[in-house]
Structure 1
Amino acid sequence: MIDRTAPAPRPSPSAPVPGVPAGGGTAPAAEPEAAALREAAPPVLSLQGVHQVFPTRRGDVPAVAGVDLDVRPGQVLCLVGESGCGKTTSARMAAGLADPTSGSVLFRGQDVAAMDKRERSRFRRAVQYIHQDPYASLNPVRTVYSTVSAGLRRHRMVKDRNEARRAVTELLERVDLTPAEDYLDKYPHQMSGGQRQRVAVARALAMNPEVIIADESTSMLDVSIRVSLLNTLGRLRDELGVSFLFITHDLAVAKYFAWDGEIAVMYLGKVVEHGPTPQVVNDPRHPYTRALVSAVCEPDPDLARTKERVRLRSADIPDLTDLPPGCDFHPRCPLYAQGSCDTVRPPLVRSHDRLLACHVVTRE
């Protein structure tokens, strides 16, 4: 049923990941030639200057304020940031679940908002969404078979019930729910959280997607189950060539899953740093990214004692209805420079090997 060819396995990086066991094969170090080809390929899914403003009684809330992102074939793009920074809103717009207030979402170069019914149906199949909560994302009165086969039947990808059950069995085995026959007729309440999330992954794979948007899809799972699911997602990425827009607040998870991909760091609806994962995680340059890396737990006591701690000027996050002038991060920033940071909003510009939005760092 799934007709993509599987590339040769790639080795995982030797760099340890704080809070996540090393190895596992989910963070492969891509060959330079393959990486260059992916970067040269046109993006499958793009956000171009997207804004999302929510009107409230207290005023307009700019949840997303001009974000540009490209998801390229076979690539992982991680969107990282603390709660409320606009990650999920950006993901929902990318999936077509919410329309941007302004800006464009492009699939294969075509504006999603201008698609006709047939093109929209193709887009819906090609871009699949895995929600954060495995308890709420599955219908409690539907069996696993009914849930996973719904899209297959809706889009007439199977001829009859027997073919549908065979297809669902194959999908469950692909996401490591074996033996699949033991799960086909179960209801969500009869499974663990990790098993439910694997069912959600199988449901997404049923459409032969080109892009999977995983919105904090491992954050509600135990650590051991989290690593196992990340390994499964990494294997599917390598075998099927699926692109991922991976949403997480955990830089350790981003490093583990997207070692040869990219990380875009968001703060208050804007991308403040965007670059290759190894550079962003191992050498963060924006002060907000440095603070996020500093907050990652270090399991090695010796490294934990010597780890650099970033102290912010304030722990309070600005109100989205009353943002400060200049850089949104300047009230908390340890590198704050009076006269520039508090008057002029920094643009996102190319600085060596990444994009940065910081007056101080880009002057260095």
Structure 2
Amino acid sequence: MTDPTVHHDPSAEGERAAGAGRAAAPGRAAGAVAGAADTPVLGLHGVRQVFSTPRGDVPAVAGVDLRVRPGRVLCLVGESGCGKTTTARMAAALARPTSGTVRFRGRDVAAMSRAERSEFRRSVQYIHQDPYASLNPVRTVYSTVSAGLRRHRMVRDRREARAATAELLRRVELTPAEDYLDKYPHQMSGGQRQRVAVARALAMNPEVIIADESTSMLDVSIRVSLLNTLGRLRDDLGVGFLFITHDLAVAKYFARDGEIAVMYLGRIVEQGPTRRVVDDPRHPYTRALVSAVCEPDPDLARTKERVRLRSADIPDLTALPPGCEFHPRCPMFEPGRCDTERPALAPGPDRLLACHVVDGG
């Protein structure tokens, strides 16, 4: 897989390329999306989310455009509280945008019929951050993973449901699967629970998986193992990922052949192919994020660029500064320019960039 180019298409049309049968082992065959790899299956178009609070309106997401393509990874990165999870919830139709549209195969999710919405729910699956809270403690692994299969009548009886569940567990490397079918969440580790959550998502034969900080609560070794599993599922099944993380090291590892969108206070400030954004960050905020990543090599750590921000304080969302929201913290701040006009997210040769003082080339 090669680095994807940055696309600026105004819409995200496209039919599902090839629907494999929902049999005892749900999932699409490898190569099923070969003819439509560049056609977005899920798109966010100018989405905004404003929350009303006693202290005033909070613009959690302020006009975001994102595209998720089959078999590709789009990582959304940024500090805690920047709007990543709110964006993910709107993408999954768990929250309705204040304005803007979410489109699935080119169709506005808000305008879908009941049957279309049901298909959307099956095709776009969500993996939550906390494996300790996302699973029902009184349901076994079999009950949890097979619930969707039984609800949508994708299996005929209990015997077929258990066989399908066992196959899904093997796919996420919980083996021998028969040892896990009748376990409860409290009988498993955090990594095992998160693999159960992945198996539950895969049961619906999804086209898109939205993973919201799905590895942040796991130990490092378990985190890498789970990322490898998700990577194999992406490649083998052609599943597109909207991967939410605050850790650029995780983003670089999982989306090395994909794309990164850097978010700050509800806006995308830089977006492009992962390797270019991480290896050659342009926006001052992206540079600060990259400089904060721990470097295990002591020689590289000594020579690594350290970005010192003007302030460690994040602006209050109810009283955002004029101009570029990052200017109170930006080490490249230019008075009279950065504090008067908000920079637009503009295309450059290899990325999108929103900054007055640096260009996207």
Identify whether the pair has TM-score above 0.5, normalized to the shorter chain: yes
Query: Which residue does 1:118 correspond to in 2?
Result: 115
**What amino acid is the match of 2:191?**
G
Query: Which residue does 2:77 correspond to in 1?
Result: 80
Q: Distance in 2 between matches of 1:231 and 1:363?
A: 31
Q: Is residue 5 of structure 1 aligned with residue 2 of structure 2?
A: no
Q: Distance in 2 between matches of 1:47 and 1:363?
A: 22
Q: Residue by residue, what CA displacement relative to the aligned partner does 1:314-354 show, whole Å, maximum 9, x if unpaired? A: 00000000000000000000110111100000000012210
Q: Distance in 2 between matches of 1:363 and 1:288?
A: 14
Q: Distance in 1 between matches of 2:343 and 2:62?
A: 13
Which of 165, 171, 193 is the matching residue for 2:162?
165
CA contact (8 A) 2:353 2:360 kept: no
Query: Which residue does 2:216 correspond to in 1?
Result: 219
Identity %: 82
**What amino acid is the match of 1:53?**
V
3-state secondary structure, aligned to 1:361: coil
List alignment gaps of at least 5 residues for structure 2.
Answer: 1-24
**What amino acid is the match of 1:47?**
L
Q: Residue by residue, what CA displacement relative to the aligned partner does 1:82-135 show, whole Å, maximum 9, x if unpaired? A: 000000000000001000000000000000000010000000000000000000
Q: Is residue 103 of structure 1 aligned with residue 103 of structure 2?
A: no
List alignment gaps of at least 5 residues for structure 1.
Answer: 8-33
Q: Is residue 208 of structure 1 aligned with residue 193 of structure 2?
A: no
Query: Which residue does 1:325 correspond to in 2?
Result: 322
CA contact (8 A) 2:27 2:206 kept: no
**What amino acid is the match of 1:154?**
R
**What amino acid is the match of 1:129?**
Y
Q: 5 Å matches for 1:10-21?
A: none
Q: Is residue 291 of structure 1 aligned with residue 315 of structure 2?
A: no
**What amino acid is the match of 1:251?**
L
Which of 283, 301, 304 is the matching residue for 2:301?
304
Q: 5 Å matches for 1:235-274?
A: 235-274=232-271
**What amino acid is the match of 2:204?**
M
Q: Once the 2 structures are TM-superposed, how far is the Cα of residue 362 of structure 1 from its aligned partner?
A: 2.5
Which of 29, 43, 51 is the matching residue for 1:54?
51
Q: Once the 2 structures are TM-superposed, how far is the Cα of residue 363 of structure 1 from its aligned partner?
A: 8.7
Q: Once the 2 structures are TM-superposed, how far is the Cα of residue 3 of structure 1 from its aligned partner?
A: 4.9
CA contact (8 A) 2:282 2:359 kept: no
Q: Once the 2 structures are TM-superposed, how far is the Cα of residue 63 of structure 1 from its aligned partner?
A: 0.3
**What amino acid is the match of 1:126?**
S
**What amino acid is the match of 2:49?**
Q
3-state secondary structure, aligned to 1:290: helix
Q: Distance in 1 between matches of 2:340 and 2:241?
A: 37
**What amino acid is the match of 2:156?**
K
Which of 70, 83, 89 is the matching residue for 2:67?
70
Q: Distance in 2 between matches of 1:344 and 1:362?
A: 16
Q: Residue by residue, what CA displacement relative to the aligned partner does 1:30-79 show, whole Å, maximum 9, x if unpaired? A: xxxx8x973xx321000000000010000000000000000011110000
RMSD, aligned α-carbons: 1.4
TM normalised by structure 1 equals 0.91
Q: Distance in 2 between matches of 1:324 and 1:258?
A: 32
**What amino acid is the match of 2:41?**
V
Q: Once the 2 structures are TM-superposed, how far is the Cα of residue 6 of structure 1 from its aligned partner?
A: 2.5
**What amino acid is the match of 1:309?**
R
Q: Distance in 2 between matches of 1:82 and 1:330?
A: 16
Query: Which residue does 2:15 correspond to in 1?
Result: none
Q: Distance in 2 between matches of 1:125 and 1:338?
A: 50
3-state secondary structure, aligned to 2:74: strand
CA contact (8 A) 2:172 2:195 kept: yes
Q: Is residue 361 of structure 1 aligned with residue 358 of structure 2?
A: yes
**What amino acid is the match of 1:4?**
R
Query: Which residue does 2:39 correspond to in 1?
Result: 42
Q: Once the 2 structures are TM-superposed, how far is the Cα of residue 5 of structure 1 from its aligned partner?
A: 2.4
CA contact (8 A) 2:287 2:307 kept: yes
CA contact (8 A) 2:27 2:203 kept: no
3-state secondary structure, aligned to 1:252: helix
Query: Which residue does 1:89 correspond to in 2?
Result: 86
Q: Distance in 2 between matches of 1:335 and 1:71?
A: 32
Q: Distance in 2 between matches of 1:75 and 1:305?
A: 34
Q: Residue by residue, what CA displacement relative to the aligned partner does 1:141-167 show, whole Å, maximum 9, x if unpaired? A: 000000000000111101110000000
Q: Is residue 155 of structure 1 aligned with residue 152 of structure 2?
A: yes
* Greater than 2 Å deviation, 4+ residue runs: 1-7
Q: Residue by residue, what CA displacement relative to the aligned partner does 1:176-226 show, whole Å, maximum 9, x if unpaired? A: 000001000000000000000000000000000000000000000000000
